[in-house]
Amino acid sequence: MTKVEIKGEDFYINGKKTYSEIEGSQPKAHGLLMNARFIQGVFDDKAQPERFNRFGKEFNPDRNTDDLVKALPQWYKYGLRAFTVGFQGGGTCFTIKSQTIDNNPFGEDGRQLDLAYQQRMDKLIRAADRIGMGVIVSFFYPGQLRRIKDGRSVVNAVKTACRFLKEKGYTNVIIEVCNEMDVDKAHTIIHKEEGMAVLIDIAREESGGMLVGCSGAGGSVFKEVAEASDIVLIHGNGLSRQQLYKMIQKTREYAPGKPIVCNEDSQAIGQLKVCYNEHVSWGYYNNMTKQEPPVDWGITKGEDQFFAYRMAEGIGINIPDIPMEEQYYLQGLEKAMTYENKRWLRVASLYPESIDYVEFYKNDELLYTSYDEPFSLNFYTNWLQGEIIWEDTDSWKAKIHLINGKIIEK
């Protein structure tokens, strides 16, 4: 029911430039493919699945996929037109070491694809197809690459995955050969750009002509990969808005006239402004609310909700009026969001550009000051932060200093 195509730098769904069918939509948003990283949509762990019974839930791989299927219409309403899901999933950045997880559906020689993963992926792609969304299907993830034997096995795995996609006849799929190809040096054919360019060509041929690309780590773009890709996939992790702009410029030099899709950045939604201005599709990446299984795939309060609103606003979809006091939220104190007595606190905002800095207080004593979005306690980078040890007797407060001089406490 849904056919995703490209013409020049623009995306078309069923023959129409994206978002052009929405009355009152912003012309500069037409042709974009706003997306989110829902990488764990077919996740499982063959090593120790019971350790994912946490956050007040019992993990079940089929339920995990079903829950994402149910949540997709919520996201579509606010303008999401694609999401990235990975056969090898993504990293549990805050809790369990990714290398200890066995989330690899490929056989060691790359010639097999686990039937249960096939069924979950098929369910997700068809659910997206029914409502008018595309799916960026990522084959490889650095934390799982070492489970594939060698370079020839990598080629086999690309062919195996592509044949699965081709046989199903999907018309709403974009292929990402590897998530952040330059992070893991396990296989030269993946982390060297000349090898990846060849894999992109193989994927295009074996899939019957599906759109193909491959991402590098935050800030990385490779000329030969960009030239080989139909869609140039980039990641904005760890970049300032100016650095993101510079990477977009560099990408256009390497691949003029091709659509650029940032399919992973952070929960720093101020980055959206750069991408809307530069006609680049942006990908929301929240590695706490959307990458730590079991995932609540709905639009949860705080970061998820504010991203949905800002995405809609940039497209020209009406959003409700939000009183100023409700435009700021102290994230991480939700009842179930604790792991081994650890929590991750940050201030989410509908308009993070309005914030000058945030002070975090523990038991009324100043503990930490954050100056950069997403205004997290123990800030590392815009997609990663340190934890706090949680005690039920502690009290926490964020004092949000706005650029206009006003102070809001949460």
3-class secondary-structure state, position 203: helix
Closest CA relative to residue 173, chosen from 130, 128, 215: 128
Element (H, E) at 103: none
> Could you tell me the end-to-end alpha-carbon distance of the chain, in angstroms, rounded to an integer?
45
What is the extent of the structural domain holding 160?
4-315
pTM over 0.85: yes
CA distance 249 to 221: 11
Question: In this structure, are 289 and 349 located in the same domain?
Answer: no
pLDDT in tens, the chain (410 residues): 999 999 999 999 999 999 999 999 999 999 999 999 999 999 999 999 999 999 999 999 999 999 999 999 999 999 999 999 999 999 999 999 999 999 999 999 999 999 999 999 999 999 999 999 999 999 999 999 999 999 999 999 999 999 999 999 999 999 999 999 999 999 999 999 999 999 999 999 999 999 999 999 999 999 999 999 999 999 999 999 999 999 999 999 999 999 999 999 999 999 999 999 999 999 999 999 999 999 999 999 999 999 999 999 999 999 999 999 999 999 999 998 999 999 999 999 999 999 999 999 999 999 999 999 999 999 999 999 999 999 999 999 999 999 999 999 99
The answer to whether 157 and 110 have CB atoms below 8 angstroms apart is: yes
The answer to whether 304 and 286 have CB atoms below 8 angstroms apart is: yes
The tokens for 10 are: 């623009």
Which of 257, 281, 315 terminates a domain? The answer is 315
Cis peptide before 352 (omega within 30 of 0): no
User: What b/e readout covers 33-60, taking b as 16+ CB neighbours within 10 angstroms?
Assistant: bbbbbbbbbbbbbeeeeeebebbebebe
Tell me, what's the pLDDT at 48?
A: 95
CA distance 368 to 195: 45
Question: In this structure, are 263 and 117 located in the same domain?
Answer: yes
107 to each of 13, 33, 51, 154, how far by Cα in Å? 34, 33, 24, 10
Number of domains observed in the structure of the chain: 2
Amino acid at 312: A
Tell me, what's the pLDDT at 11?
A: 98
Question: In this structure, are 287 and 356 located in the same domain?
Answer: no
Question: In this structure, are 251 and 347 located in the same domain?
Answer: no
CA dihedral 8→230→71→69, nearest 10 degrees, is 130
Question: In this structure, are 302 and 347 located in the same domain?
Answer: no
Would you tell me how many other CB atoms lie within 10 Å of the CB of residue 289? 22
The answer to whether 362 and 394 have CB atoms below 8 angstroms apart is: yes
Would you tell me how many other CB atoms lie within 10 Å of the CB of residue 98? 17
Question: In this structure, are 262 and 363 located in the same domain?
Answer: no
Which of 255, 287, 315 terminates a domain? The answer is 315
Question: In this structure, are 274 and 378 located in the same domain?
Answer: no
The tokens for 331 are: 């994230």
Cα atoms in the Cβ-side hemisphere of radius 13 Å centred on 101: 28
CA 98 to chain centre: 17
Question: In this structure, are 311 and 346 located in the same domain?
Answer: no
Question: In this structure, are 344 and 272 located in the same domain?
Answer: no
Element (H, E) at 242: helix 241-254
CA distance 80 to 175: 18
Question: In this structure, are 33 and 93 located in the same domain?
Answer: yes
Amino acid at 70: K
